[in-house]
């Protein structure tokens, strides 16, 4: 197979957006790159053509153009063009690759085919008409074996070699069989490429003169036009050939990028991400699993298998997972044999029927046994909807509407109502930028935030809204311990106002003990809500509470078919029983504490300013300098060492001391390179993927 890859991007220092600038022919403007694609499709030797652009949001326009032109589009690293090129080719593993560039709108399919024919007949590793040029600048063609591209991707370590795809290959004639193709006459003084406004002016004139009467005009037709209008030859003649390459070679003297010998191919994963972007708004169902939060183009995004604390991606790469552990859902580990065994038994006995599963009653008994203050239980299947159930029960029990809250509580209208008519009320409660689009404006003022460990905040809310408060909702603990008397004060204020006191234990539950974190804090709520870890990754949510409050659920319609299936309760029973028998809570606390101490020590060792926080089982850190770049580079360095890692670590029962030791050794190496890159001021050029984003934003 012969694969043609046209590399292009919108950003250009000298002529911004040149590839999508319209060229007007017969009064109709078409993007320059669209006209080039039309010419390239006339090649008889290229079997498949791909447009390879970057993950930079500015290049969304090229993805749109590819759809319009019905050309496959691959998106990869912005600056490491070699990586982008290789990843684009990898899914096809072609025998030969043709490199084409988006600044050559007069590319001639006849010349392309002639270079390909000579490459095939000679058996060369690399064939080109560009290194010893005789054709006009802008008719460059390079053909090479995929094997050579793969070797370059693995071994090239200079900035120039990562920016210019074939420099590693054509710079080693002693290693590779290189063939140069020359034309019948030397036309190398002619400039038909586009980098400057004068270049674009010339190309526009040529298309305007030739395209209306001869859309498939040839190089010979252009030369005839230049003979008739010789002034066009000097329109852009003062520019030197390969100025961009000269600048890249100068950069080699200033900074050397670390080799990417350990870089893993994630072509299948990246291809799946592109498919997902086309079919699934926002790409994923959970914001925290979006690859752009880590480094788009580096983070594999999709898994084929998970076992214990290891994950295999779609390309077969194996990783030690020291990151979000299913965003806290897999508290015991992936594919836990005891939980999975219970689920298999439940499925074998029928996952649902016209009758109810008895496991939901057994689970209710166990939850109330673990939390002796609770009398009754209702179920859902996810955290967000469980919180919505809890709020509905509280509103029904009190006959009131308003909710005072602290922390993050999901995506439902009752919570996002805090951002209706405000700038960013939720910005200090875990996730910034949560747009309340679609939330009824009439809910404005029904959700009122207060800050953790700030009792006066809540006192003001109670003073102003007390008679209308249905509930005070909060996470008992997340980033810092409660100040002495804070939780007791919140409970007292809630009850003084006649509101229901609700603990959201979706994230904190099963981290410190078997049950809610509030069991260790000495404060009892009226309602507590669990999900995430409760089923070790199987969907299950539980709302537990005092009988007099929970009975309000019978006065409001709270009902769903899938809340009666068997798998969730069976998984929760197995998870809770194993969690208790293995004393998982202290294990998670110990591992998290070790990692936090490790981050702090390693940051000091390498002179990095970092902030470490979170309760040990929900640990996180952040870089003070250039966080989007430093986080993405850290992710990249850890992935290259076979470890899935971000700036978050949620330990699982499956993690052991040896995993933490391996992880901290890898952090040591990664922190060293981050510090080196920050000192050199070249961290952006070292990224193979996009900088990490934070908060909620549109993906495409």
| Residue 163 pLDDT | 87
- Asked whether residue 541 falls in the same domain as residue 617, the answer is no
- Asked whether residue 123 falls in the same domain as residue 15, the answer is yes
More confident residue, 373 or 689: 373
- Asked whether residue 516 falls in the same domain as residue 663, the answer is no
Sign of the CA dihedral with 192 first, then 194, 199, and 203 last: positive
- Asked whether residue 465 falls in the same domain as residue 517, the answer is yes
| Residue 605 pLDDT | 97
CATH number of the domain that residue 153 is part of: 3.90.550.10
In degrees and rounded to multiples of 5, residue 160 shows phi and psi of -65, -35
Contact status, residue 490 vs residue 477, Cβ threshold 8 Å: no
- pLDDT above 90 coverage of the chain, percent: 75
Residue that terminates a domain, selected from 565, 598, 626 = 565
The string of DSSP codes covering 73-105 is EEEE-SS-HHHHHHHHHTTT--SEEEEEETT-T
| Residue 288 pLDDT | 87
The chain-wide mean pLDDT, for the chain, equals 91
Q: What is the mean pLDDT of the segment spanning 387-399?
A: 98
- Asked whether residue 128 falls in the same domain as residue 250, the answer is yes
CA 689 to chain centre: 10
Residue 169: band (very low, low, confident or very high) from pLDDT cuts 50, 70, 90: very high
3-class secondary structure, 36:
helix
- Encoding tokens for residue 685? 């050029």
Q: What is the mean pLDDT of the segment spanning 272-278?
A: 86
Asked if residue 343 is part of any domain, the answer here is no
Cα distances (angstroms) measured from residue 225 to each of 134, 247, 456, 497: 19, 33, 80, 86
- Asked whether residue 110 falls in the same domain as residue 231, the answer is yes
| Residue 53 pLDDT | 93
> Could you tell me whether strands 447-449 and 402-406 are parallel, antiparallel, or unpaired per DSSP bridges?
parallel
Alpha helices by DSSP H, listed for 607-653, are 627-640
| Residue 696 pLDDT | 45
CATH number of the domain that residue 379 is part of: 3.40.640.10
Asked if residue 573 is part of any domain, the answer here is no
590-610 pLDDT tens trace: 999 999 999 999 999 999 999
Q: Among residues 230, 232, 191, which one has the least CA distance to residue 208?
A: 232
Residue that terminates a domain, selected from 565, 596, 622 = 565
CATH number of the domain that residue 596 is part of: 3.90.1150.10
| Residue 699 pLDDT | 35
- Measured CA to CA, the distance from residue 269 to residue 308 in angstroms comes to 21
Residue 471, pLDDT above cutoff 50: yes
318-350 pLDDT tens trace: 999 999 999 999 999 999 999 999 999 999 999
Asked if residue 339 is part of any domain, the answer here is no
| Residue 156 pLDDT | 84
Asked if residue 698 is part of any domain, the answer here is no
- Asked whether residue 30 falls in the same domain as residue 108, the answer is yes
In degrees and rounded to multiples of 5, residue 403 shows phi and psi of -125, 125
Asked if residue 91 is part of any domain, the answer here is yes
Asked if residue 611 is part of any domain, the answer here is yes
- Asked whether residue 248 falls in the same domain as residue 273, the answer is no
- Asked whether residue 450 falls in the same domain as residue 558, the answer is yes
- Asked whether residue 50 falls in the same domain as residue 191, the answer is yes
Residue 315, pLDDT above cutoff 70: yes
- Asked whether residue 190 falls in the same domain as residue 314, the answer is no
Residue 423, pLDDT above cutoff 80: no
Q: What is the mean pLDDT of the segment spanning 553-565?
A: 96
| Residue 235 pLDDT | 82
480-512 pLDDT tens trace: 999 999 999 999 999 999 999 999 999 999 999
Residue 139, pLDDT above cutoff 80: yes
Asked if residue 116 is part of any domain, the answer here is yes
In degrees and rounded to multiples of 5, residue 178 shows phi and psi of -110, 135
Sign of the CA dihedral with 513 first, then 515, 518, and 523 last: negative
| Residue 429 pLDDT | 52
| Residue 549 pLDDT | 98
Asked if residue 534 is part of any domain, the answer here is yes
Residue 447, pLDDT above cutoff 60: yes
More confident residue, 674 or 687: 674
* Residue range(s) defining the domain that contains residue 391: 352-565
- Measured CA to CA, the distance from residue 244 to residue 240 in angstroms comes to 10
Number of compact structural domains in the chain: 3
Residue 430: band (very low, low, confident or very high) from pLDDT cuts 50, 70, 90: very low
| Residue 68 pLDDT | 93
Cα distances (angstroms) measured from residue 235 to each of 186, 239, 526, 672: 19, 10, 80, 50
Quick check: pTM over 0.85? no
Residue that terminates a domain, selected from 222, 254, 286 = 254
Residue 428: band (very low, low, confident or very high) from pLDDT cuts 50, 70, 90: low
Residue 257: band (very low, low, confident or very high) from pLDDT cuts 50, 70, 90: very low
- Asked whether residue 542 falls in the same domain as residue 514, the answer is yes
Residue 239: band (very low, low, confident or very high) from pLDDT cuts 50, 70, 90: low
């Amino acid at each position: 197979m012969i694969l043609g890859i046209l590399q292009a991007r919108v950003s250009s220092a000298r002529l911004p957006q040149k590839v999508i600038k319209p060229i007007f022919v017969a009064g109709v403007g078409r993007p320059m790159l669209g006209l080039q694609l039309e010419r390239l499709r006339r090649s008889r030797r290229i079997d498949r053509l791909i447009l390879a652009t970057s993950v930079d949001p500015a290049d969304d326009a090229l993805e749109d153009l590819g759809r319009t032109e019905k050309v496959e589009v691959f998106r990869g690293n912005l600056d490491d063009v070699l990586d982008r090129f290789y990843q684009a080719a990898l899914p096809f593993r072609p025998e030969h690759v043709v490199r084409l560039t988006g600044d050559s709108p007069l590319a001639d399919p006849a010349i392309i085919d002639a270079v390909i024919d000579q490459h095939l007949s000679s058996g060369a590793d690399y064939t080109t008409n560009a290194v010893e040029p005789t054709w006009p600048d802008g008719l460059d063609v390079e053909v090479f074996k995929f094997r050579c591209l793969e070797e370059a991707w693995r071994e090239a370590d200079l900035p120039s070699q990562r920016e210019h795809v074939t420099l590693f290959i054509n710079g080693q004639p002693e290693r590779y069989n290189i063939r140069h193709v020359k034309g019948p006459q030397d036309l190398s003084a002619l400039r038909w490429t586009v980098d400057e406004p004068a270049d674009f002016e010339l190309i526009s004139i040529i298309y305007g003169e030739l395209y209306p009467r001869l859309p498939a005009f040839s190089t010979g037709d252009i030369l005839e036009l230049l003979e008739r209008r010789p002034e066009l030859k000097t329109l852009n003649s003062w520019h030197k050939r390969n100025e961009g390459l000269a600048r890249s070679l100068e950069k080699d003297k200033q900074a050397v990028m670390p080799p990417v010998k350990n870089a893993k191919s994630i072509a299948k994963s990246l291809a799946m991400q592109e498919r997902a972007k086309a079919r699934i708004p926002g790409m994923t169902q959970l914001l925290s699993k979006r690859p752009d939060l880590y480094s788009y183009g580096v983070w594999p995004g999709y898994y084929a298998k998970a076992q214990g604390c290891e994950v295999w991606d779609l390309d077969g790469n194996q990783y030690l997972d020291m990151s979000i552990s299913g965003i806290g859902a897999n508290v015991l580990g992936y594919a836990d044999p005891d939980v999975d065994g219970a689920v298999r038994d439940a499925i074998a006995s029928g996952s649902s029927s016209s009758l109810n599963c008895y496991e939901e009653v057994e689970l209710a008994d166990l939850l109330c046994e673990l939390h002796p203050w609770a009398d009754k239980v209702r179920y859902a299947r996810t955290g967000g909807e469980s919180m919505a159930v809890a709020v509905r029960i509280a509103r029904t029990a009190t006959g009131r509407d308003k909710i005072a809250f602290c922390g993050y509580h999901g995506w439902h209208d009752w919570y996002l109502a805090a951002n209706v008519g405000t700038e960013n009320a939720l910005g200090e409660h875990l996730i910034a930028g949560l747009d309340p689009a679609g939330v009824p404006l009439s809910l404005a003022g029904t959700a009122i935030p207060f800050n953790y460990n700030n009792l006066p905040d809540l006192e003001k809310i109670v003073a102003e809204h007390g008679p209308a408060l249905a509930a005070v909702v909060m996470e008992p603990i997340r980033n810092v311990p409660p100040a002495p008397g804070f939780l007791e004060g919140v409970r007292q204020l809630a009850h003084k106002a006649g509101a229901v006191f609700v603990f959201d234990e979706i994230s904190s539950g099963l981290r410190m003990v078997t049950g809610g974190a509030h069991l260790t804090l000495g404060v009892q709520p009226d309602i507590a809500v669990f999900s995430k870890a409760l089923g070790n990754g199987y969907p299950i949510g539980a709302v537990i509470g005092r009988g007099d409050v929970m009975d309000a659920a019978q006065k409001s319609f709270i009902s769903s078919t899938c809340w009666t299936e068997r798998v969730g309760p069976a998984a929760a029973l197995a998870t809770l029983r194993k969690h208790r028998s293995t004393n998982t809570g202290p294990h998670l606390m110990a591992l998290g504490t070790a990692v936090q101490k490790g981050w702090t020590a390693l940051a000091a060792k390498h002179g990095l300013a970092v902030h470490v926080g979170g309760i040990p089982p929900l640990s996180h850190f952040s870089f003070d300098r250039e966080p989007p770049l430093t986080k993405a580079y850290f992710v990249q360095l850890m992935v290259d060492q076979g470890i899935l890692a971000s700036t978050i670590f949620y330990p699982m029962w499956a993690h052991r001391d040896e995993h933490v030791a391996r992880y901290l050794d890898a952090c040591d190496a990664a922190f060293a390179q981050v510090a080196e890159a920050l000192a050199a001021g070249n961290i952006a050029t070292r990224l193979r993927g996009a900088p990490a984003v934070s908060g909620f934003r549109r993906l495409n």
